[in-house]
A and B are shown apart, each in its own frame.
Chain A
Amino acid sequence: MSTALDKLVAVVRGGGKVSETTPPTGRADVAFRWLTAACALLVILIMAGMVVELFYNSRLSLKEFGFGFLWSTDWNPVLQKFGAASSIYGTLVSTILAMVIAMPLGVLTALFLVELAPPGISKVVGAGVELLAAVPSIIFGMWGLFVFAPFMADHVQPFLQQWLGFLPLFRGAPLGIGMLPAGIILALMILPFITAVSRDVFAMVPSVVKESGYGMGSTTWEVTRKVTLRHGIRGIIGAGFLGLGRAIGETMAITFVIGNSHQLSASLFEPGNSIASTLANEFTEASEPMYLSALIELGLVLFFMTVIAQMIAHFWLNRVRRQMGDGL
């Protein structure tokens, strides 16, 4: 308390002259309050404007193709026939791949940071993982296309084909670009988010509970599996949805490595596309109103996919936080 007062005295003496210069007027306060409320309201207005504009500007395509837009595989700017199926498929496949890779990786990394690593190492590794989140998407794209794709084509894909080539997933020429590299790079990009939330969840488990486990003679893994993970599983699911929301809309890195083809293919080696990569590639080329409208409708679909993922994450994590808060 005294430090707060000291600080206040210092602040006021330092140059505030609060009481002398301005007599407390109610009007200025009311104006200030309204100003801040207007700024807060602006966030909501932008969001509402986004929904309205996306709907309004995709009206041509909405009217022409109806719901069939969602499952039509046409994408022909010359004939003015558009369907979102290949883009939606690519978005889903690359996102699922990224989740399958990043979830276990993120949880294991968090486990290492919280339970296993000595504090010094934990700090360094943690900072490195956070730094990975700061790397811009386009840098991932450059690295993915010019460094990682050749590596995939020369080392990883022939290896996968040799051992798992009987699966339709791994057929086709090992080009280095396509769904699989896109999924792997997406996984690297969302890994920091999943790790960060999982780390918080693990740290929230009361140490008394863990110590009781150790006191019974459990190993670290047993305590982790039966106490920490069980305690934090719902938080980790929430982390998954947060990562999912990020992965769905990731644009530049995917545009570089996914191959940009409107073909649907079961193989992860074949080039594909995602909603975001289609927008990035074709938006400035779209000269006809219908083409532009179809692209904006793609944007609308992507927008709703991310909003749904975000909302699930938001409400789920809020619930978990409340329950864990009550339970502790």
Chain B
Amino acid sequence: MIPRSARGRMAVDRTIKVLSTFFSLLALVALGWILFAVLARGMGAINLQFFTKLPTPPGMAGGGLGNAILGTGIITAIATILGVPIGLLGGVYLAEFGADSRLATATRFTSNVLMGTPSIIIGVFVYTILVLPRGQFSGYAGAVALSIIMLPVIARTTEDMLALVPNALRESALALGAPRWKVTLGVVFRAARNGLVTGALLAVARVSGETAPLLFTALNSPFWPESIMRPMPNLTVTIFNYAMSPFADWKAMAWGASLLIMAAVLVLAVGSRIVFRQKST
């Protein structure tokens, strides 16, 4: 066997190193480009009125998206109230009781599939069960759609986080005579608190930027939200409608709303990382 020349091999090695460095920086460039574009184009729309006023017809100065900001807050809050407790309890079953039972295995598998189901399909599903029978779009249907997206995410992270809690902790608490539910909620939950908060924050971050599941559930509205049983204004669908409109001032508003959503999602995502890191120290 003739040994290949070292120079050729080194050259190939160096080329690959340069390529992989270049390509991994490409992702950073894309991120930077997106952040910069949203910041540069969105800043102009942000002022006090943006947070407090109703939208105006195209061409009319002033106005804001106060109603959509409030609506997005309401929808996300209701989704969190619905999704987090059910997800937590489902995760408790997977980690504490289910183990390898048939129900637990099926739930794990279904959660994975549900997590990968396109959010627009979840929107169609909620449309068929909540909007079609009543004949009316509603903020509450939007919240249910978002909570369905949160549910499997929270259940699986809860399971993972509870699995990290050492068994000795459970055994000791049980040995003291505490019932199982109290052990879980009082001891295991407390030990896994940071992880659980991280999971919930990540799930909220994920749904607060969602548009597709709201398109035909919450719809949108140019008025202040009055009832959760009626169409509810929200930022993401407003961005979609305004961006597709031919009016320059509406497009500017859409950029402002994009900046707001982007900032909220990034704060939640980075915040959850900080919470999680506290655990390890």
Contact = CB atoms under 8 A, between A and B. Distances in A.
A295 B26 CA distance: 37
A57 interface: yes
Nearest to B27: A129
A303 B122 CA distance: 10
Main secondary structure on chain A at its contact with chain B? Answer: helix
Contacts, number: 302
B19 interface: yes
B85 to A, nearest CB: 8
Contact of A18 (B23, B152, B186, B211): B186
Nearest to B86: A39
A245 interface: yes
A39 B93 contact: yes
Interface in A103-132: 104-105, 108-109, 111-113, 116-117, 125, 128-129, 131-132
Which of B87, B121, B236, B266 has the most chain A CB atoms inside 10 A of its CB? Answer: B121
Contact of A43 (B24, B155, B166): B155
B125 interface: yes
Nearest to B151: A43
Contacts of A134: 205, 265-266, 269
A299 B98 contact: no
Contacts of B255: 142
Interface residues of B, number: 99
Interface of B is mostly: helix
A19 B175 CA distance: 10
A258 to B, nearest CB: 13
A36 B112 contact: no
B246 interface: no
B236 A136 contact: yes
Interface stretch (A157-165, A171-179, A219-227, A261-269): A219-227
Interface in B128-179: 128-129, 132, 148, 151-152, 155, 166, 168-169, 172-173, 176-179
Contacts of A8: 168-169, 172-173, 187
A109 B27 CA distance: 9
A246 B190 CA distance: 34
Interface stretch (B52-60, B62-70, B101-109, B221-229): B101-109
Residue among B10, B23, B166 with the highest chain A CB neighbour number at 10 A: B23
B133 to A, nearest CB: 11
Interface in A51-78: 53-54, 56-57
B87 to A, nearest CB: 8
A307 B117 contact: yes
Nearest to A56: B128
B90 interface: yes
Contacts of B279: none
Contacts of B10: 219
Given A11-B191, A19-B176, A136-B236, A302 B121 contact: yes
A42 interface: yes
Nearest to B251: A146
A279 B103 contact: no
B33 A47 contact: no
Given A40-B90, A310-B112, 18 more contacts: A16-B182, A33-B97, A40-B103, A47-B114, A53-B128, A53-B129, A125-B24, A131-B31, A134-B205, A134-B266, A135-B209, A137-B212, A143-B38, A221-B12, A283-B124, A283-B216, A296-B124, A296-B128
